[in-house]
Structure 1
Amino acid sequence: MLSPHNFELSIPSKHDREIAKTSVNAIEKAHLDMKKAKLLIQDMQVELPLSAVKLLLEALGQLAQGNALTMIPRHAALTTQEAADLLNVSRPYFIKLLDSGQIPFSRTGNRRKVLAKDLFKFKDESSKKQNHAIDELVKQAQDFGMDYDE
């Protein structure tokens, strides 16, 4: 279960960003024909599933760009505040999204809980709608001969 302290993120240091960048490059080169992966930590070696390597590559890529990150299981039940924070919206606005039926939720007593998978689905759909609207605006601007380069 998540708690608010799980969202306390720290920005990677310059040293960590450089290590992450080097690691991403090395893993990407090896990943082309990778059939199995092993992780060596001091004297201990463990085999990793390839799906974990992809996840590690994504995490390292984010760190290399200087981004803080956290992992949330898709089945995690989030509070309305945690979910609002992830969408970068206010809690009252998020409650309106829930009450309008745009995001499924369950109740435990008087508390609403949202599954992370439902939140991520909403976020993806919203991004697609926004991108489509932007594409339409660009097309209309081009049709009207508007040139923003001048």
Structure 2
Amino acid sequence: MARTSVLAKATTVESSPEIQDALAKAGRMVPGEVDVILRAADGSESVLPQELVRILAASASELAIGHAVTVLAAETNLTPAETAELLGLSRPFVARLLDSGDIPSSHLPDSSHRIVRLADILAFQARRARRQEGRRRIAEAAEDAGLPY
């Protein structure tokens, strides 16, 4: 039986330009300094936990600048193909990253198929972004100093 893509089942939200100002305002909410209250149709109310307020503020900030937001648990397991899709890389390149241990993975029991934790993918992506930023800064410094590179 074929497995349905985790990414295809994830909840993705996109903003519209008409509400970006309201989203920007919501994105400036400081968790711990604001309460978010849900009011049901019957009038009952519930205060959201601060963890959820943090998620809402972070999501609102991204939506305000026109980014789509996809909700997945950090413990979600993805296939190498889904990992490649998420990172915007080819599946064979991701397989090499998994083989080298640059992105941790584990094998399914009694199988050669691998799974990758979303948290590990995000950690790899953050490391990669830091390296790219470092290279950009070095290139800028060399250019400012008039050095060939």
Under TM normalisation by the shorter chain, which class is it? 0.7 to 0.9
Confirm or deny: 8 A CA contact 2:11 2:71 kept in the other structure: no
Partner of residue 142, structure 2: 140
Partner of residue 118, structure 1: 120
Q: Which amino acid aligns with 2:128?
A: S
The percent identity for this pair of structures is 24
Gaps of 5+ in 2: none
Q: What CA distance in whole angstroms lies between the structure 2 residues aligned with 1:10 and 1:32?
A: 21
Q: What CA distance in whole angstroms lies between the structure 2 residues aligned with 1:72 and 1:28?
A: 23
Gaps of 5+ in 1: none
SS at match of 1:46: strand
Q: What CA distance in whole angstroms lies between the structure 2 residues aligned with 1:94 and 1:105?
A: 11
Name segments (4+ residues, structure 1) moved above 4 Å.
7-10
Partner of residue 6, structure 2: 3
Name the structure with the higher helix share: 1
What is the correspondence of 1:1-150 to structure 2 with a 5 Å cutoff? 3-6=6-9, 9=12, 11-15=14-18, 18=19, 20-25=20-25, 28=28, 31=30, 34=33, 36-42=35-41, 43-108=43-108, 109-144=111-146
Kindly tell me: are residues 61 and 137 of structure 1, through their superposed partners in 2, closer, same or farther at Cα, counting changes over 3 Å? Answer: same
SS at match of 2:15: coil
TM-score of the superposed pair, with normalisation by structure 1: 0.79
CA deviations 1:110-147 (Å, max 9, x no partner) are 2110011111111111110110011011111111178x
How well do the aligned residues superpose, as a CA RMSD in angstroms? 2.7
